[in-house]
């Protein structure tokens, strides 16, 4: 398949972040593919909107429609990966392929306990303090061209309790049975928490496979933007043509 025949690509960001998370991927892919990145409700330009999975799936669906190229490849990271799983269940006719990045852990059972604790703790810490900490961390770990767009867009700490409150307890490998399209589980090699269910997720889907970004952690598209982009590009060229 050539890029001209490949699906449009929609990127869906992770917890507290925004469409800016995908600046490196958009820049690298936009010459060959129709691409877009969304802000989920309560994040980025939609900061004032209340969070819900219903609203998140509608935003993804609208982004697919806006590219006017038919069903899309949807790439979701972390929170965005679980929102993309919900989109796949509700809008199968709009999906040609799904990339789950850092979103192959069950959100049920004991795994969810520390995330429930974190979701309860975040509102007790001043947002400006959290912002300074996040800015320092990103600038220490990554180059400006990778993280500047994310830093400029700010962080959705206020949305974290509602977002993870809805996601926790809702998803496990069984969610893969509702995905009609091929799936790439794309994880950072060192993202041990979110890799915990990757084999269960693959076993639950007849057209799913795992690919790892060497030495990368949870933010694998920041840790190695080129490798992440290359994996998405190759998968986009592999998915079957829309009939």
String of DSSP letters for 175-242: GGGG--S-EEEEEETT-TTTTTTHHHHHHT-TTEEEEEETT--SSHHHH-HHHHHHHHHHHHHHSPPP
Quote the CA–CA distance of 84 and 99 in Å, as a whole number: 9
127 exposed, middle or buried (CB, 10 Å; 0-12, 13-18, 19+)? middle
Residue by residue, pLDDT tens for the chain (243 residues) are: 666 789 999 999 999 999 999 999 999 999 999 999 999 999 999 999 999 999 999 999 999 999 999 999 999 999 999 999 999 999 999 999 999 999 999 999 877 776 777 777 787 889 999 999 999 999 999 999 999 999 999 999 999 999 999 999 999 999 999 999 999 999 999 999 999 999 999 999 999 999 999 999 999 999 999 999 999 999 999 998 865
Return all residues near 110 (Cβ < 8 A) that are at least 6 apart: none
**Whole-structure pTM value:** 0.96
Under a CB-based contact definition with an 8 Å cutoff, are residues 15 and 42 in contact? no
In angstroms, how far is CA 84 from the centroid of its own chain?
A: 7
**In the chain, where do the E strands start and end?**
9-12, 35-38, 72-77, 95-101, 183-188, 208-213
């Amino acid at each position: 398949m050539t890029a001209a025949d490949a699906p449009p690509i929609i990127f869906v960001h992770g917890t507290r972040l925004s469409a800016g998370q995908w600046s490196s991927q958009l820049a690298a892919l936009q010459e060959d593919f129709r691409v877009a990145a969304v802000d989920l409700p309560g994040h980025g330009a939609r900061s004032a909107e209340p969070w819900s999975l219903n609203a998140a799936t509608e935003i993804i669906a609208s982004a697919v429609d806006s590219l006017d190229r038919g069903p899309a490849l949807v790439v979701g990271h972390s929170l965005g990966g679980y929102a993309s799983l919900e989109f796949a269940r509700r809008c199968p006719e709009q999906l040609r392929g799904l990339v789950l990045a850092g979103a192959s852990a069950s959100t049920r059972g004991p795994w969810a306990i520390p995330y429930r604790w974190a979701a309860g703790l975040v509102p007790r810490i001043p947002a400006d303090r959290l912002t300074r900490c996040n800015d320092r961390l990103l600038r220490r770990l990554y180059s400006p061209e990778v993280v500047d767009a994310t830093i400029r867009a700010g962080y959705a700490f206020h949305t974290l309790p509602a977002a993870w409150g809805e996601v926790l307890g809702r998803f496990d490998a069984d969610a893969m049975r509702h995905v009609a399209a091929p799936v790439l589980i794309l994880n950072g090699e060192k993202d041990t928490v979110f890799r915990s269910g990757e084999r269960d997720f693959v076993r639950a889907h007849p057209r799913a496979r795992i690919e790892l970004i060497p030495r990368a952690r949870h933010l694998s598209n920041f840790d190695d933007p080129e490798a992440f982009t290359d994996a998405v590009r190759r998968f986009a060229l592999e998915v079957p043509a829309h009939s």
